[in-house]
Amino acid sequence: MTELQPPPAAEAADILWFIPTHGDGRYLGTQEGAREVSLAYMRQIAQAADDNGYFGVLLPTGRSCEDAWVVASALIPSTQRLRFLVAVRPGLIAPSAAARMAATLDRISNGRLLINVVTGGDPVELHGDGLFLDHDERYEVTDEFLHIWRGLMAGETVTYKGEHLRIEGGTLLYPPVQKPYPPLYFGGSSAAGHRIAADHVDVYLTWGEPPAEVAKKLAEVRAVAAAKGRQFSYGVRLHVIVRETEAEAWDAANRLIEKVDDETIASAQKIFARFDSVGQQRMASLHGGKRDNLEISPNLWAGVGLVRGGAGTAIVGDPQTVAARIKEYMAVGVDRFILSGYPHLEECYRFAELVFPLLPLRATTGNERRAVRNAGPFGEIIANVVPPSKLASQS
């Protein structure tokens, strides 16, 4: 039997940031140091990501979040080049309605929409949304949804009858800017998830497991896609804690969870245990709900996952170390990084300033920011007379 191989190494990457529509602050698991996620605050983060040259931003989805589509619509006029990765939820919305929403948002943003296909992994939350299907049935719905949605977005007249969804003579009158439709991002760690990716998507996503484990997963899903004559790009969702020194970074990581008590961790882990998401189960297994061994791989820290669902790991270190760890993911084929850090406004600047210059980035990430940095004013004029760059060059 031929050993599965991960995708070829990525030569360059795009970096996306995160809009925390479910909350932000200086500490996890507490209201201390928390910030209200107002439109004004989210606008600050989006504009910071836009100004710093991030490729795009992810808007999360779920009942704990402000609605991603409404938030994206509100932020688009405040940004110029930033793309918005917004979720469609098969089973919670009709594919025809989702197609009209996507086409409209793509048009009003002039082609800056990315689509995140989210099947959902918490049965209790899904029951609260009126969806009573088991794990594999939800992926069946996702498959049928995407058959319809992709046809409508591509300008076809769609008639389709599946086990769960049916449409007759469906059409989309106003097409999207991007052809045939905005790129589809999707993450699914189960066999059913791999099949959906292989059939439909443009970018396959995974959460931040150790690079060796990510390589195995990407090799598996790559093989499923290859058997169907398809290939796609790969992305990873991670947190980052970068400081000018290694010691400062680890101190910041420890401070992030210093307000979390054991009772809060146990309560969070009990909730995560009810999920039937294979990806969430893999995240939980990295730390086992315990604080005593959170560095699960060099500079990969699982402390975020003690109380936060979904992406639960962070790369921790100085700029050179963080860049080196990102390059390890690139070596196994990852070319999209969806990053976040607490608080998201400050960390958006910090990561771009410290790490962007150390990474091989595509022209679609960072180039505008570098152009700005080469012009003045840059830094505070020393004694109201001497530009800091000139002073440095004289020393």
Q: Considering the domain 14-364, what is its CATH architecture?
A: Alpha-Beta Barrel (3.20)
Sign of CA dihedral 219, 221, 222, 226: positive
pTM above 0.95, yes or no: no
Pairing of strands 166-170, 233-242: unpaired
Band the pLDDT of 390: cuts 50, 70, 90: low
What does the alpha-carbon distance between residue 8 and residue 332 come to, in Å, rounded to a whole number?
Answer: 6
DSSP state of 340: E
What does the alpha-carbon distance between residue 386 and residue 388 come to, in Å, rounded to a whole number?
Answer: 6
What does the alpha-carbon distance between residue 131 and residue 123 come to, in Å, rounded to a whole number?
Answer: 8
Would you call the peptide bond into 176 cis, given omega within 30 degrees of 0 as the criterion? no
What does the alpha-carbon distance between residue 235 and residue 225 come to, in Å, rounded to a whole number?
Answer: 16
pLDDT in tens, 10-43: 999 999 999 999 989 999 989 999 999 999 999 9
In the predicted model, what is the mean pLDDT of residues 204-231? 95
What does the alpha-carbon distance between residue 15 and residue 301 come to, in Å, rounded to a whole number?
Answer: 20
Q: Does 1 have pLDDT greater than 50?
A: yes
Of 249, 368, 265, give the one whose Cα is nearest residue 307.
265
Pairing of strands 83-88, 113-117: parallel
Of 143, 115, 141, give the one whose Cα is nearest residue 126.
141
pLDDT in tens, 162-178: 999 999 999 999 999 99
Calculated CA dihedral for residues 61, 109, 182, 218, nearest 10 degrees: -50
What does the alpha-carbon distance between residue 265 and residue 284 come to, in Å, rounded to a whole number?
Answer: 12
* Phi, psi (rounded to 5 degrees) for 310: 75, -135
Question: Under a CB-based contact definition with an 8 Å cutoff, are residues 175 and 103 in contact?
Answer: yes
pLDDT value for 273: 81
In the predicted model, what is the mean pLDDT of residues 218-243? 96
What does the alpha-carbon distance between residue 202 and residue 188 come to, in Å, rounded to a whole number?
Answer: 13
pLDDT in tens, 254-312: 999 999 888 888 888 888 788 877 777 787 777 777 788 899 999 999 999 888 877 88
pLDDT in tens, 49-105: 999 999 999 999 999 899 999 999 999 999 999 999 999 999 999 999 999 999 999
Q: What is the DSSP string of 10-79?
A: PSSBEEEEE--TT-EESSSSSSTTEE---HHHHHHHHHHHHHHT-SEEE---STTS--HHHHHHHHGGG-
What does the alpha-carbon distance between residue 190 and residue 213 come to, in Å, rounded to a whole number?
Answer: 14
**322: three-class secondary structure by DSSP:** helix
What does the alpha-carbon distance between residue 30 and residue 258 come to, in Å, rounded to a whole number?
Answer: 10
pLDDT value for 342: 97
**332: three-class secondary structure by DSSP:** coil
What does the alpha-carbon distance between residue 167 and residue 165 come to, in Å, rounded to a whole number?
Answer: 7
pLDDT in tens, 306-344: 888 778 899 999 999 999 999 999 999 999 999 999 999
Calculated CA dihedral for residues 349, 291, 238, 21, nearest 10 degrees: -70
For the chain, domain boundaries: 14-364
pLDDT value for 54: 98
Residue in the block written with tokens 């893999």? 282
pLDDT value for 376: 61
